Amino acid sequence: MLTKQQKSEQIKEGKEILKDNKSLIFIDFSGVAMEELKKLRRALRDVGAKMKVFKKKLLRIAFKESGIDFNPEQFEAQAATVFSDKDIFEIAGSVYKFSKSLKKDSSFGILGAYDLLAKLFIDAETVKKIGQLPSKEILLGQLVGMLSMPIKMLMNVLNEKSKMVEK
């Protein structure tokens, strides 16, 4: 049981984290081994995110004091919060890949996300879909390929026509 001072320290820490970050992802970590959670923390650290476990009631108070209208107590399961100063798009992939790497009997799951800049809750299904998307670099590469393809085809046609004229 936490003392009143420890609770107020956690609320203060929660407010600081909310002030310094852009996005949050809530995950259910019940039934996941500690070694697996360490792997998740390492994967999150690689993308510039952190995972912290707060009591949902204390996190709700931190949200309220920060002027954010969101209640994390709506989640029935044990909830850990992934904090990041990047967009949700950049951290959802790591969380989703981790959830796919676990055994099927694990109850690990994505509960949802909250965009602090837009003050918008994102449901779990949308976060999973975002996590399945390729990285930004891959998407940009695909776009460049699609945009350059008509030019390449035109060049091929002109090249073949020039060969016909030479004969």
Write the pLDDT tens digit of every residue in 74-129.
888 778 889 998 888 888 888 888 888 887 666 788 898 988 888 889 998 999 99
For 132-158, what is the mean pLDDT? 90
Class of residue 109 by CB neighbours under 10 A (exposed 0-12, middle 13-18, buried 19+): middle
pLDDT attached to residue 144: 93
Q: What ranges make up the beta strands (E) of the chain?
A: 23-28, 49-52, 79-84, 109-115, 120-123
Mean pLDDT of the chain: 87
Residue 167 has pLDDT above 70, yes or no: no
Distance CA 72, CA 79 (A): 8
23 strand-pairing partners: 84, 115
- pTM, whole model, 2 decimals? 0.78
Nearest 10 degrees: Cα torsion 128, 133, 137, 143: -150
Q: How many other C-beta atoms lie within 10 A of the C-beta of residue 6?
A: 11
Indicate the pairing of strand 23-28 with strand 49-52: unpaired
pLDDT attached to residue 147: 92
